[in-house]
Chain A
Amino acid sequence: MVKYIIKRVISCIITMWVVATITFLLMHAVPGGPFDREKKIPPEIKKQIEARYNLDKPLWWQYQDYFKHLLKGDFGPSFRYIGRSVNDLIKDGFPVSAQLGGVSVLVSLLIGIPFGIISALNQGKWQDNFVMFLATIGITIPSFVLATLLLYFLSFKLGLFPSMRWGTAKHYVLPAIALAATPTAFVSRLTRSSLLDVIRQDYVRTAKAKGIPDKIVVYKHALKNAVIPVITYLGPLVAGILTGSFVIEKIFTIPGMGRQFVESITNRDYTTILGLTIFDSFLLVSFNLLVDILYVVFDPRIKLDN
């Protein structure tokens, strides 16, 4: 177990290094310097600015310097917000995004799994068709379309929820629904298919033959194995919610990391894009690692050597 974890941690570190390097090179390959504005800056001033941000040094030096700071957890200064570092931006945005994302993950699991169970137990009946219909809708409607529909009907027409600002519990409702819709659909499809798989297995038939009530067979015997694929989906789920938040936070004007990301793109704020991408990837990679470890813990049938 320990050996497996060490191996996975090492591969995660390599992944992070590759991602950071690729992102660093991509951001430095952007045509035009980060301080090119529509109005030309006098060359002397431009030189000053570049010297201030070490942009006049060779690329290799910049790369080493960036990584030196990165290892200390320092993402460097933002090119657009003078005097603010990318760390400041993350400190502001991350808690908001993490809360919203956490709520959305919870929503998608708490709704997705029961819906999947209902539809698997009623395979072919109207409940199944209904849930699968909802799931198809959930997968096909882009989150920004759903978000704007929600805004228009529930917030603007009916006035049930606020459409702007951030803070109270009511503010969470619409963004969380919009963000969780697609993952919920995936989770319910996944739960349904894996539960259908498990229900047909021998040990379930044995349990039934022993005279154990159907409910106990499903919830105690079958479900345990059926949720394992859902656990493996947790990694992509978090990834989806993270990238989904770019759009949702923009629409609902939520001061989170997703909106900062989008803003840094429109502002061409390269260090912020670089920093946020690395931070996002770090979150995802460590989450995937966690899921992989959880997976082994939950399913003793998996061999650790592989």
Chain B
Amino acid sequence: MDLNLKNIDKELFEYIPSDNKDLNTVVRPSETYWQDAWRRLKENKVATFSLFALILLILISIIGPYLSKFDYRTNDINSLNLSPNSEHWFGTDELGRDLYVRVLYGMRISLSVGIVSALINFVIGVIYGGISGYYGGNIDNIMMRFVDVLYSVPTVLYVILLMVVLGEASLSNIFIALGISYWVGMARIVRGQVLALKQQEFVLAARALGAKNFRIILRHLIPNSMGPIIVTLMMSIPSAIFTEAFLSFIGLGVSAPMASLGVLCNDAITTYRTYPYQLFFPSLAICIIMLAFNLFGDGLRDALDPKMRK
């Protein structure tokens, strides 16, 4: 390229007087962190779509069963193992129970397992991580060593052991087992955030004004680390759903006549050659739920925490 500065026409340049007035005016209203995140989320088509899919799934699992005249527990000896038809939309199982209703109930269970256990591990993780990060020193050391120990063994093993100990495989026991096993990751995230935040001036200011430790943790440190917390929370939902399906599949899930999606799959697997649809519908439901939560979680992470993006 033949670029010689001397050849450029001086006319092309314009003199701007050094008047700083314009520089200090705010052109657009400033966005808060949440507005910013919401805008980024809306721009992400996949995430918005999966958010709608999730809302739809929740609505279907709540309303759907009422659209059918069958319930999940009534056996019907005259309609065993029916293929999908106009009356039984997803067919029936080996006891003549309507699969459509059973799959929707299974979705209900899976969704509530995901959400409730996420909330439990949110509470435990935030308190544990908050205390550990805020107090630091030996308390932090001991608390984190314990977390490290738990972390080095897969959570599924704990959940299985807890389910065996709790005995009866009821829904509330699954909540308990999942809730008290999955908080470890959350505690680590919260601790990291609190550790970084507690050095900042606003914490010092709060302390100078006489705020108690717990107030500082709950009102100042936790709200400021909400972004990563929500992302972790959102990511823990599909893994809880997955673990529940896994547990049900190895025979530790909710007991009959209730059935989660994992139980439905497990029941269907012995007859998958003859009645593949009995396996197909619950499997499809699990996959859709997992996909929606994973994609939405990814989008949420990108929106709330651009640094975590990979």
Report A's interface with B, CB cutoff 8 A: 11, 14-15, 18-19, 23, 26-27, 29-32, 136-137, 139-142, 144-145, 148-149, 151-152, 156, 189, 193, 239-240, 242-243, 246-247, 250-251, 262, 265-266, 268, 270, 273, 277, 280-281, 284-285, 288
Contact = CB atoms under 8 A, between A and B. Distances in A.
A161 to B, nearest CB: 15
A18 B251 CA distance: 27
Given A19-B149, A30-B165, A30-B167, A145 B287 contact: yes
Interface residues of B, number: 37
B162 interface: yes
B265 A288 contact: no
Contacts of A137: 291
Nearest to B283: A145
Identify the 5 closest CB pairs spanning chains A and B, nearest first.
Answer: A193-B310, A140-B290, A145-B283, A140-B291, A243-B156
Contact of B273 (A152, A266, A273): A152
B154 A243 contact: yes
> Chain B interface secondary structure, helix, strand, loop or mixed?
helix
Given A247-B246, A247-B249, A142 B290 contact: yes
Contact of A262 (B161, B238, B251, B291): B251
Given A148-B269, A148-B279, A156-B273, A26 B156 contact: no
15 contacts: A15-B148, A32-B167, A140-B291, A142-B242, A144-B265, A148-B265, A148-B279, A189-B310, A242-B154, A243-B154, A243-B156, A246-B250, A265-B164, A273-B164, A281-B153
> Chain A interface secondary structure, helix, strand, loop or mixed?
helix
B294 A251 contact: no
Given A29-B165, A136-B295, A280-B157, A15 B242 contact: no
Contacts of B287: 140-142, 145
A179 B135 CA distance: 42
A306 to B, nearest CB: 14
B252 interface: yes
Interface string B159-176: 011101101000000000
B99 interface: no
B161 A250 contact: no
A141 B291 CA distance: 8
B64 interface: no
B152 A265 contact: no
A268 B249 CA distance: 16
A244 to B, nearest CB: 9
B306 interface: no
Contacts of A277: 157, 161
Q: Which of B157, B273, B276, B295 has the most CB of A within 10 A?
A: B157
Contacts of B146: 18
Interface in B231-287: 238, 242, 245-246, 249-252, 262, 265, 269, 272-273, 276, 279, 283, 286-287
